[in-house]
Structure 1
Amino acid sequence: MANPIVARSLDEIRFWSRIMKEHALFLSLGFTYEQQQLIDEANQFIAMFERIEEKLSRFSVNSDLREVQAFNNEVYQAAASIWYYKRKVLGLTLRCEIRTNNYPLLVDHISREAAYFADRLKELNEGKLVPKPEAIIEENVFFLRIMADHAKFIGHLLDPSERKLVEQAREFSHDFDQLVFQAVDLDSMRPQSETKPILNQFLNQNRVSVASLRDFKKTARELIEECRIKSNIHPLLADHTFREAERFLEIIDLFEASLAGTNN
Structure 2
Amino acid sequence: MTNEFVARSLDEVRFWSRIMKEHSLFLRLGFRCEDTQLINEANQFYSIFEAIENRAIAFNVGTDPQTIRRFNEEVHNAVSHIWVFKRKILGLILRCQLPGANNFPLLVDHVSREANYFRNRLAELNAGRLEPLPDAIIDENVFFLRIMADHAKFISHLLDPSERKLVDQANHFSEDFDQLLFQARDLDSMRPQSQTAPLLDQFLDQNRVSVASLRDFKRTARDLIEACRIKSIIHPLLADHVFREAERFLFIIDMFESSLTGKPMPRDPSVVMD
Shorter-chain TM-score range: over 0.9
Task: State the Cα deviation string for residues 135-154 of structure 1 (Å, max 9, x = none).
Answer: 32122111000000000000
- Residue 54, structure 1, aligned to residue 61, structure 2: no
1:54 Cα offset (Å): 2.1
**Counterpart residue number, 1:98:** 98
**Counterpart residue number, 2:215:** 214
SS of the residue aligned with 1:57? Answer: helix
Task: State the Cα deviation string for residues 52-78 of structure 1 (Å, max 9, x = none).
Answer: 122213310111111101100110011
Distance in 2, matches of 1:166 and 1:209, equals: 17
Task: State the Cα deviation string for residues 98-156 of structure 1 (Å, max 9, x = none).
Answer: 12100000000000000000011111112245653123212211100000000000000
Which runs of 5 or more residues in structure 1 are unaligned? none
- Residue 125, structure 1, aligned to residue 154, structure 2: no
1:257 Cα offset (Å): 2.5
Alignment of 1:79-228 (within 5 A): 79-99=79-99, 100-129=101-130, 131-228=132-229
Letter matched to residue 153 of structure 1:
F
SS of the residue aligned with 1:84? Answer: helix
Letter matched to residue 218 of structure 2:
K
Letter matched to residue 98 of structure 2:
I
Paired residues of 1:8 and 1:129 also in contact (CA < 8 A): no
Distance in 2, matches of 1:117 and 1:221, equals: 25
Task: State the Cα deviation string for residues 189-246 of structure 1 (Å, max 9, x = none).
Answer: 1121111110010011101000000000000000000000000000000000000000
Letter matched to residue 171 of structure 1:
H
Q: Spell out structure 1 runs of 4+ moving beyond 6 A.
A: none
Distance in 2, matches of 1:123 and 1:207, equals: 26
Distance in 1, matches of 2:98 and 2:225, equals: 29
Distance in 2, matches of 1:260 and 1:64, equals: 32
SS of the residue aligned with 1:150? Answer: helix
Distance in 2, matches of 1:213 and 1:131, equals: 28
Which runs of 5 or more residues in structure 2 are unaligned? 263-274
Distance in 1, matches of 2:56 and 2:139, equals: 29
Paired residues of 1:4 and 1:129 also in contact (CA < 8 A): no
Distance in 1, matches of 2:136 and 2:220, equals: 33
1:50 Cα offset (Å): 1.2
Normalising by structure 1, report the TM-score: 0.96
Letter matched to residue 127 of structure 1:
G
**Counterpart residue number, 1:77:** 77
1:258 Cα offset (Å): 2.6
Letter matched to residue 96 of structure 2:
C
Letter matched to residue 136 of structure 2:
A
Normalising by structure 2, report the TM-score: 0.93
**Counterpart residue number, 2:21:** 21
SS of the residue aligned with 1:230? Answer: coil
SS of the residue aligned with 1:3? Answer: helix
**Counterpart residue number, 2:5:** 5
